[in-house]
A and B are shown apart, each in its own frame.
Chain A
């Protein structure tokens, strides 16, 4: 079974700061997902990665398959970025569900 570790668990930063959230996993995967969960509980998929790097607006996600490690970066952070960011992985490339990290609670102060 894959073990997914995220760091940090909690992060408070000032508006405008560059944010990095890290994720590592123990077993080879077919894809890694970054998810965002807002206080109401709803979850939105930000990225799905199998290699390399993806960028969407101020968000950048990278993955190193050899090192079993991924990072999520937020540039020019804003209070509306405050949320829980969750790393999750899928293994077999079929219909298997996601295995999740425990999440990083991010607060961006104005």
Chain B
């Protein structure tokens, strides 16, 4: 069976410090990977998605970046955190494009446990 891991679970960082959040998926190959953020009092927002190693699409311009160094690893980073970066960060995966096409292009997304980031 497939599992998705995120760490750390909680993080408190000072403004201006760097950030690295990691997400890994087990039990599947070539997944699509996603980073979402839920800011306090706001809805979920797509930040980045990736269909393969080194392939990153950004939805919202900001001081965050994402990388996919391995097939089942997705990393969210920042060089200098802002107060507005505080929030709940969720990683998710879905089956890859080849299988999506076989299924008619539809698949659910499976969410990780999330990282709660507080920037002070």
Contact = CB atoms under 8 A, between A and B. Distances in A.
Partners in one complex: yes
Interface of A: 30-31, 33, 35, 41-45, 48, 50, 86, 88, 90, 93-103
A7 B4 CA distance: 31
Q: Which 3 A-B pairs have the closest CB atoms?
A: A93-B105, A97-B46, A43-B111
Using C-beta atoms within 8 Å of the partner chain, give the interface range for chain B: 20 to 34
B43 interface: yes
B28 to A, nearest CB: 14
B107 A100 contact: no
Nearest to A35: B111
B116 A48 contact: no
Contacts of B108: 33, 45, 48
A97 B37 CA distance: 12
Contact of B43 (A41, A95, A103): A103
B106 A50 contact: yes
Given A94-B100, A95-B49, A96-B49, A42 B43 contact: no
Contact of B97 (A43, A44, A94, A101): A94
Nearest to A4: B43
Contacts of A44: 111
